[in-house]
Structure 1
């Protein structure tokens, strides 16, 4: 006997509450196996393929591509429990038996931990993520690619009176006809279910309220909207939803500006020697020569050395407890621009890595970011962020701290500039370094000391050898 089970959008972890459908991997009528990925969704952290814990025939999908669904909302329904030996065929339960199974018990939730074995489910809603999901309302669906029996199980129609409609008054019939009210679908409040005028009036009011609500939702934007500065905004102005990665970035930046009393200091540094050292590293040959080392990898290694000297900046603030929490290890985030927007992958335990190891991990995470395959775990847990906005051809910026961290180092482009070197004017490779820090965790002296140490290592890479 077949049973139709509803699979809801699972809890993807990391505090995520919604996800956007990017691409459906199955169609209605397809046969799916247990734990087969059925949809690709985009959260505020990453792209995730969601596997279905049930095996059977897909009977309905909820939401078109581009639709944003909350955690716990239905994703699809699957008819499971077909007779053994029917290879590749959809389950064909009788309408009465399948309907009774639906009406007598609610669809099992993946988080309930019961019923999955008997129904063909694995219980592994999404390996590596939480499975708890709040109850979601069952939606009405009308499949068009299934056999008649399964379709009859799924279609949810309003009750219809069989036989003569219990109406006595011609006035009630005329009133219902004038307002397009189907008397067969009304439950009468009179004796023996007799439909009274009050019942029709109530149905008319409900229909009018529904129509009015729909009109409000679908009403176009006013032709001209007055902006705070008095400038008129045309009704055809483009509106871009703040959701997915863009929405998450907006929320985090807003929270950073709201909660963190930040300050920025900056310094210009002569990076000529650093560039020469990098060139020498990458020109090395023989067994000791490793992969190429990027400028970002060298700056990352300098940052970990600076944080060892100034641990105040490798911290966060517990606002509820009014405590500064200094963190034992450095998980270094770096800003990466992708087609999906700005993301910050995290190099775990960067304080234990050398420049070559950090560079290799940055390259690996950058490739995952470009292909949209970073997991939420690879985008969270950072303790300090390095932002190389110089790749966009700009000299400087005032970085916004990646909440809940305490500081971010920004690096501008390295370019030839006139510079006083050894008492004479010369053309040198100069870079601007900017440090934005949470003024609650330290004062300007500590922030200045950190930035000055970074600049010294850039100008004289041999300084770094003291800490290696």
Structure 2
């Protein structure tokens, strides 16, 4: 006889306590191998595929796509092969960010809800094998309940049942203790809709209350309260109805977008930056004509093409070597400014899931070709949601190329806990005085937002002016190569 093992959402590291199910990679009944990815989840850092430490047949899944689960919550159950008597089946032995798989939890026993019969109804069996009540012939009077062959079918002889009828399908099963609910989202949905979870019998394993169970009650209640449901009201007048829903802010007009996942993490970080960092911004216009010509000359030669972002990153690393105050952070506990001897360069990347800041490790030790390749790799990973938490943390300075959005300037918010961010606007032809004459040149606006605790305006202005000089005359870099 196969043994059913439960696989829980593992610790994903970086202090993460929950994750949202983005996409299931397996279905109930699928055969999976040890360490095969079974679900794709999104955390506050990135999207990751979670491997299952057991091999066998998927018997159940917990949580729909879009549901948030806390770390340690059940993900799925797997039926493995014949267990050895008096021994625990072994997992893969691998560890997913601190989550061991060498020990398996106790077997879960599936308990089916008790069928409810009323009056002239007799017990029958639905298509899925679940006992249901089936009416006797001719039983159409008020108070008689027809069979619901699936969880969402809250109807009586073609007429929607009242919310009370949905509650009454199965008697209260949780008079004391916690109510088994699949996620906090379901509790919130029930609370806002005025649904008493203790009056519900969940359709999940061991009576676990799923989101669909609560939504069934809410849909039945909406049908009951609508003017077109007069017939249903008469048919269910003998059944106890739900209590009136508690008004909530979610019923207000407008579209509500939850701040969760990557977008929620960005919101928290930017809010903290605004609260803690006394930032200031300075900016300067620069003639980028010579830099664009230098890049064209590089790309006309043999070898990989060099991106403009890589050249700007190279300018940043050289400038930070001259002005190390801006490659630092403030230790608020000890009231010290910590200057770093390495540059982990972050760069802002816009994705469908929000703004992320991948980090190029040891950017100060890379040349233009290496920077170009790493920017391309991290950008593709950001677009596909495959960035790891390690690739999104640990930056010491950020480069923000908002010129790709067609804007000239900005005053960006510093990526906490860093000390500065260089912003680059679009490069466009503009009138410019060149060698004493008016000419059309390729002009760019550079801005530097910095933490005023780590340096004064003179240092920030010196850094920005040096970067602008290198943009206007790339040969200046030859001094430091």
TM-score (norm 1): 0.72
Q: Which residue number corresponds to residue 123 of structure 1?
A: 93
Q: Which residue number corresponds to residue 274 of structure 2?
A: 257
Task: Say whether the 8 Å CA contact 1:11–1:72 is kept in structure 2.
Answer: yes
Aligned mate of 2:342, from 304, 317, 329: 329
Task: Say whether the 8 Å CA contact 1:55–1:120 is kept in structure 2.
Answer: no
Task: Say whether the 8 Å CA contact 1:330–1:349 is kept in structure 2.
Answer: yes
Cα 1:156/1:322, change in 2 over 3 Å: farther
Pairwise CA RMSD: 3.3
Task: Say whether the 8 Å CA contact 2:172–2:198 is kept in structure 1.
Answer: no
The SS at the match of 2:467 is helix
Deviations 1:316-340 (A, max 9, x none): 1111221211112101111111222
Aligned mate of 1:154, from 110, 115, 129: 110
State whether structure 2 residue 307 is matched by structure 1 residue 294. Answer: yes
CA positional deviation for 1:184: 11
CA positional deviation for 1:18: 1.3
Cα 1:460/1:319, change in 2 over 3 Å: same
CA–CA separation in structure 2 for the residues paired with 1:338 and 1:393? 17
CA positional deviation for 1:29: 2.3
Task: Say whether the 8 Å CA contact 2:346–2:357 is kept in structure 1.
Answer: yes
Aligned mate of 2:324, from 294, 301, 311: 311
State whether structure 2 residue 468 is matched by structure 1 residue 466. Answer: no
The SS at the match of 1:154 is coil
Task: Say whether the 8 Å CA contact 2:173–2:199 is kept in structure 1.
Answer: no
Cα 1:308/1:462, change in 2 over 3 Å: same
Q: Which residue number corresponds to residue 374 of structure 1?
A: 387
Deviations 1:216-245 (A, max 9, x none): 9975656986xxxxxxxxx2x110111111
The SS at the match of 1:21 is strand
Deviations 1:247-284 (A, max 9, x none): 11111111111111111111111111111111111112
Cα 1:295/1:216, change in 2 over 3 Å: farther
Task: Kindly report which structure 2 residues correspond to 1:76-225, keeping only aligned pairs within 5 A, or say none.
Answer: 76-82=76-82, 118-126=88-96, 129-131=97-99, 153-155=109-111, 210=198, 221=248
Q: Which residue number corresponds to residue 459 of structure 2?
A: 446
Aligned mate of 2:288, from 261, 271, 274: 271
Cα 1:157/1:318, change in 2 over 3 Å: farther
Q: Which residue number corresponds to residue 94 of structure 1?
A: none
TM-score (norm 2): 0.70
Deviations 1:60-110 (A, max 9, x none): 2110001111111111122224379xxxxxxxxxxxx9xxx9xxxxxxxxx
Q: Which residue number corresponds to residue 248 of structure 1?
A: 265
State whether structure 2 residue 60 is matched by structure 1 residue 60. Answer: yes
Cα 1:297/1:32, change in 2 over 3 Å: same
CA–CA separation in structure 2 for the residues paired with 1:241 and 1:320? 33
Uncovered stretches (5+) of structure 1, i.e. residues with no partner: 85-96, 102-114, 139-149, 161-178, 188-206, 226-234
Cα 1:208/1:316, change in 2 over 3 Å: closer
Cα 1:370/1:209, change in 2 over 3 Å: closer
Aligned mate of 1:420, from 416, 421, 433: 433
The SS at the match of 1:66 is coil
Aligned mate of 1:349, from 350, 355, 362: 362
Deviations 1:124-164 (A, max 9, x none): 242xx22179xxx99xxxxxxxxxxx9x9322769x9xxxx
CA–CA separation in structure 1 for the residues paired with 2:174 and 2:66? 37
The SS at the match of 1:78 is strand
CA positional deviation for 1:385: 0.6
CA–CA separation in structure 2 for the residues paired with 1:309 and 1:406? 15
CA–CA separation in structure 2 for the residues paired with 1:210 and 1:452? 67
Cα 1:182/1:33, change in 2 over 3 Å: closer
The SS at the match of 2:109 is helix
The SS at the match of 1:456 is helix
Aligned mate of 1:392, from 385, 402, 405: 405
